C-alpha cells in the first residue's frame, strides 16, 4: 500500500532539467545520454516526475517493489481502465497475475496458440502478396498481433480491428495529460465495449473452459470477480497490440537497412531470437513506466522523500554505455547482457513469451521468406531516424508510424 500521498515536486537537491516533450517524441536518445552523463536522477517538469536513466539504478529500483510502488496516485491508466494489476503491488498483484498468466506461458504458446498465429500470418500475407507494396505496420503487423491477442484473451466475437481500435483509444486516454474531453469519451466508449465483450466471453468460458486468459481467470483457484477480469483485459489490450507490433516494425526496419545482417539471419533462422532481443534493447517499445516511493530512499546519489514520483526509463538503461558498448548501434553480436525492455521483478512482462513467438518465430520469418526482393519504399535508406518509408515516433511508447515496403509481386 502506498498510503503516502504523491509528492509532485522535485526532491531537495535534485537537478531540474527541462525537456521538450515534442523533442522527446521525435528522438529521446540524445536527451537520455545527456541525463545519464550529468543527471542520472533528474526532475523533469514537463513530465512531472524524476527520470531515472542509468541501467544499474533502474535494476536496483526494480528489485525493490516494496519501495518503488506500482500504486501511483492520479495515474491516467487507473482513470482509463480502473484498478488493475499493473498499478497494484503484491499480494493483490500476484493473485491477479497468477490467475491470468497460464495461457501466456511458453509451452502454452507453443502448443495452444502457435498454429493459429501462423495461419493468421499467412492469411494476411496472402492478402497483400500480389500487390508488391504495403505498409507492413498497418497491413500486416497490427492486424496480426491484434488477432492473436483476441485469441489468447478469449474474446471470440471481437475482430482484430475492434481490438486494435480499443487499444488505440485506451492508449490515448492513458497519455491524455492535456485532459482532452474527446479523448476521454473515446476511451470510455472503448472500455465499455470491452466490458461487454469480456462479460460474454466469461459467461461462455464458465460453461466451457477454452485455455484463454479470460477462461483462466474465471476458473482461477483464488477468486477473481468479473470487474477484475474486465479491467485487466483492458490493460492487456492497451499494451498488448503496440508492443509486439513495434518490435516487429523496428526489427524489420533494422534488417531492411542492413542487407548483410539480413542475409546472415536468413541463412541462420535460429538467429531470429537474437534479432528479437537486440531489437527490444535497441528501441524498447515501452520506454518508461512510473513508480511512486512508499518511503524515503536514496538512489543515484540523492535521497527521494516518500511519495516521490519516479519514471524508470528503461529505454535509456538499454542504451547505457557502461553496460552495452556502442549502445546506439544495432548489433547482433554484442555480448549477451540482459536488457530491460520487459521490465523486471513481479511485473516482468506477461506477454513476453507470446511476443517472442509471434514476432521472431512467425512474423519475421514469414515476411522475409515470402515477400521476395523486400525493400524499403522510395529508395532504401541507411538512416535509422527516418525516411519516406516511415519514421520512429514516441518516447513513452516508441515504434515506426509506418513501414512502407515494396517487393516483386508474384
Partner 1 sequence: MPTVIFQLPDGTERKVTAASGTVLMQAAVSNGVQGIVAECGGNASCATCHVYVDAAQSELAGGPNDVEDEMLDFTAAERRPTSRLSCQVQLSDALDGLVVHVPEEQV
Nearest to partner 1 of 64, 306 (CB atom)? 64
339 binds partner 1, rule: CB under 8 A: yes
105 binds partner 1, rule: CB under 8 A: yes
Site for partner 1 in 135-174 (CB under 8 A): none
Q: In which order are the strands placed within the sheet that holds 390-393?
A: 386-387, 390-393, 399-400
Segment contacting partner 1 (CB under 8 A): 40-48, 234-242, 333-341, 370-378?
Answer: 333-341
Nearest to partner 1 of 353, 364 (CB atom)? 353
62 binds partner 1, rule: CB under 8 A: yes
Query: What single DSSP character describes residue 202?
Result: H
Determine contact, residues 284/318, Cβ cutoff 8 Å: yes
Which one of residues 348, 378, 408, 409 is an interface residue with partner 1 (CB under 8 A)? 348
Q: In which order are the strands placed within the sheet that holds 289-293?
A: 41-44, 49-52, 309-312, 289-293, 68-69
Segment contacting partner 1 (CB under 8 A): 246-254, 334-342, 359-367, 390-398?
Answer: 334-342
Cell of 42: 533528474
Q: Which residue has the cell 530512499?
A: 297
Contacts with partner 1, 229-268, as mask; x by CB under 8 A: ----------------------------------------
Contacts with partner 1, 276-315, as mask; x by CB under 8 A: -x--------------------------------------
- Radius of gyration (C-alpha) of the chain in whole angstroms: 21
Determine contact, residues 232/104, Cβ cutoff 8 Å: no
Cell of 240: 498488448
338 binds partner 1, rule: CB under 8 A: yes
Q: Distance between CA 91 and CA 94 in Å, rounded?
A: 5
346 binds partner 1, rule: CB under 8 A: yes
Of the candidates 217, 216, 214, the one whose C-alpha atom is nearest the C-alpha of residue 198 is 214
Segment contacting partner 1 (CB under 8 A): 167-175, 239-247, 317-325, 347-355?
Answer: 347-355
Which one of residues 248, 330, 353, 395 is an interface residue with partner 1 (CB under 8 A)? 353
Of the candidates 65, 24, 149, the one whose C-alpha atom is nearest the C-alpha of residue 347 is 65
Cell of 66: 516494496
Query: What single DSSP character describes residue 48?
Result: T
Q: Is 132 helix (H, G, I), strand (E, B) or coil?
A: coil
Q: Distance between CA 139 and CA 328 in Å, rounded?
A: 29
In the complex, least distance from residue 110 CB atom to partner 1, rounded to whole angstroms: 9
Segment contacting partner 1 (CB under 8 A): 97-105, 180-188, 209-217, 284-292?
Answer: 97-105
Q: Return residues touching partner 1 (CB under 8 A).
A: 62-63, 65, 94, 97, 101, 105-107, 277, 336, 338-339, 342, 344-346, 348, 350, 352-353
Amino acid at each position: 500500500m502506498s498510503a503516502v500521498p504523491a509528492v509532485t515536486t522535485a526532491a531537495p537537491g535534485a537537478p531540474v532539467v527541462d525537456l521538450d516533450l515534442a523533442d522527446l517524441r521525435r528522438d529521446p536518445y540524445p536527451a537520455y545520454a545527456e541525463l545519464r552523463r550529468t543527471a542520472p536522477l533528474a526532475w523533469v517538469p514537463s513530465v512531472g516526475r524524476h527520470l531515472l536513466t542509468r541501467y544499474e539504478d533502474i535494476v536496483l529500483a526494480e528489485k525493490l517493489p516494496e519501495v518503488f510502488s506500482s500504486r501511483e496516485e492520479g495515474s491516467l491508466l487507473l482513470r482509463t481502465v480502473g484498478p488493475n494489476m499493473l498499478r497494484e503491488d503484491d499480494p493483490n498483484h500476484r493473485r491477479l497475475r497468477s490467475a491470468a498468466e497460464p495461457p501466456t506461458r511458453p509451452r502454452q504458446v507453443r502448443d495452444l496458440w502457435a498454429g493459429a498465429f501462423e495461419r493468421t500470418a499467412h492469411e494476411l500475407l496472402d492478402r497483400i502478396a500480389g500487390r508488391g507494396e504495403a505498409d507492413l505496420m498497418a497491413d500486416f503487423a497490427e492486424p496480426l498481433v491484434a488477432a492473436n491477442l483476441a485469441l489468447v484473451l478469449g474474446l471470440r466475437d471481437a475482430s482484430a480491428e475492434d481490438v486494435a481500435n480499443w487499444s488505440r483509444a485506451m492508449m490515448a486516454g492513458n497519455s491524455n495529460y492535456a485532459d482532452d474531453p474527446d479523448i476521454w469519451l473515446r476511451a470510455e466508449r472503448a472500455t465499455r465495449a470491452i466490458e461487454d465483450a469480456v462479460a460474454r466471453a466469461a459467461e461462455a468460458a464458465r460453461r466451457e473452459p477454452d485455455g484463454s486468459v479470460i477462461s483462466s481467470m474465471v476458473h482461477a483457484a483464488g477468486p477473481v470477480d468479473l470487474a477484475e477480469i474486465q479491467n485487466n483485459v483492458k490493460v492487456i489490450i492497451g499494451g498488448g497490440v503496440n508492443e509486439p507490433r513495434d518490435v516487429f516494425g523496428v526489427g524489420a526496419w533494422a534488417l531492411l537497412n542492413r542487407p548483410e545482417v539480413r542475409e546472415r539471419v536468413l541463412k541462420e533462422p535460429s538467429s531470429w531470437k537474437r534479432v528479437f532481443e537486440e531489437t527490444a534493447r535497441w528501441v524498447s517499445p515501452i520506454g518508461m513506466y512510473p513508480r511512486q516511493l512508499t518511503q524515503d530512499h536514496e538512489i543515484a546519489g540523492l535521497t527521494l522523500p516518500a511519495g516521490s514520483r519516479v519514471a524508470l526509463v528503461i529505454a535509456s538503461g538499454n542504451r547505457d554505455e557502461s553496460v552495452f558498448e556502442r549502445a546506439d548501434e544495432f548489433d547482433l553480436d554484442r555480448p549477451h547482457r540482459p536488457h530491460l525492455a520487459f521490465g523486471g521483478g513481479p511485473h516482468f512482462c506477461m506477454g513476453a513469451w507470446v511476443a517472442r513467438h509471434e514476432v521472431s518465430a512467425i512474423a519475421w520469418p514469414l515476411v522475409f521468406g515470402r515477400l521476395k526482393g523486400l525493400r524499403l519504399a522510395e529508395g532504401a535508406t541507411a538512416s535509422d531516424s527516418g525516411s519516406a518509408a516511415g519514421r520512429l515516433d514516441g518516447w513513452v511508447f516508441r515504434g515506426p508510424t509506418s513501414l512502407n515496403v515494396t517487393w516483386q509481386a508474384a
